[in-house]
Amino acid sequence: MIITSSGELFSWSSSQRKFGVRVGLVPTMGGLHEGHISLVRAAGRDCGAVVVSIFVNPKQFGQNEDFNLYPRTLDADKNLVESAGLRDKVRLFVPSVEEMYPLGFDSVVHVGGVTGMLEGAFRPTHFDGVSTVVLKLFNISGADVAYFGLKDYQQVCAIRKMVADLNIPIDIVACPIIRGADGVALSSRNSYLSAAQRIQATVLSQSLLIAENLIVSEGCRDVGKIIGAVRDKILTAVDAKIDYIAIADTKNLKELKTLDNCPEAVILLAVKIETTRLIDNKIINIP
């Protein structure tokens, strides 16, 4: 079930495609949860073969970020993937850093346009690291389709743009955010939260619901007022520090000044609860 060599994975994938089997890819950094498994199940429904990559990618972490702390739970991850019930359909690709970035590796994939704001403003090298490793995974896996969660909304936009700009022959499927019973979007970094901090983290999803109610039920189109209401709710959590709140075009992530004559928008948040940085978002269909 576990493959560590790029060559071995490419051979396995090629053998599947040779017989007309559609290959799906679910790229992850491990620390798997039900959000990831929802992607694995989606891939299993659509494809006859599924690659789940587990690689904590050093190139998408900036200085003083949590690369060394990031959850590495391979045995638990393997068991969780097996719980999806796909049996022989799935291969876990678990490469080493040296396998992905051999001695002398010196290339970077930069996606312009949708990466310079929001996460890109706070984490300037992040998306270069993401796009570089994702393109490598596309090539190594030979996948026909790749599955990403919408919790990382800007990442999905960046990957779609990379695929379009570089004519990469792969379909991108974006799957819904999976939330806990308390509304917190599932994330590997949630494991950093104490019980008290987890309660505080619920303000992210609650603030998004407040924004949705203002827009949909109350007809508010004033972006400043909506952002103010979101900010006020988030700051009821005593340990919350806001990196950004943005209301943007769903396609190009340009921030909107008004919602007049706008059929759809996405609200994006990045908030630290004590030292744990969480992101969340919600797409709003505007009546």
pLDDT given for residue 1 in this prediction: 85
Name the token pair of 66. Answer: 């949590």
Q: Which of 33, 36, 110, 126 is catalytic?
A: 36
Choose the final residue of a domain: 175, 208, 229: 175
**Structural domain includes residue 136:** yes
Tell me which residue range forms the domain holding 236: 188-281
Q: What is the pLDDT along the chain (287 residues), one digit of tens a residue?
A: 899 999 999 999 999 999 999 999 999 999 999 999 999 999 999 999 999 999 999 999 999 899 999 999 999 999 999 999 998 899 999 999 999 999 999 999 999 999 999 999 999 999 999 999 999 999 999 999 999 999 999 999 999 999 999 999 999 999 999 999 999 999 999 999 999 999 999 999 999 999 999 999 999 999 999 999 999 999 999 999 999 999 999 999 999 999 999 999 999 999 999 999 999 999 999 99
pLDDT given for residue 104 in this prediction: 97
Predicted TM-score of the model (pTM): 0.97
pLDDT given for residue 75 in this prediction: 97
Same-domain status, 165 and 262: no
pLDDT given for residue 87 in this prediction: 83
Same-domain status, 12 and 124: yes
**Structural domain includes residue 43:** yes
In degrees and rounded to multiples of 5, residue 28 shows phi and psi of: -140, 165
**Structural domain includes residue 286:** no
**Structural domain includes residue 45:** yes
The secondary structure element, H or E, covering residue 164 is: helix 153-165
**Structural domain includes residue 180:** no
pLDDT given for residue 121 in this prediction: 97
Q: In the sheet that 90-93 helps form, which strands lie side by side, from edge to edge?
A: 2-3, 90-93, 49-54, 23-28, 145-149, 171-175
Q: What is the DSSP string of 174-225?
A: EEPPPB-TTSPBP-GGGGG--HHHHHHHHHHHHHHHHHHIIIIIS---BHHH
Q: 263: domain CATH number? A: 3.30.1300.10
36 tagged catalytic: yes
Q: Nearest Cα to 284, choosing from 204, 214, 187?
A: 214
**Structural domain includes residue 116:** yes
Tokens 């030979």 sit on residue: 142
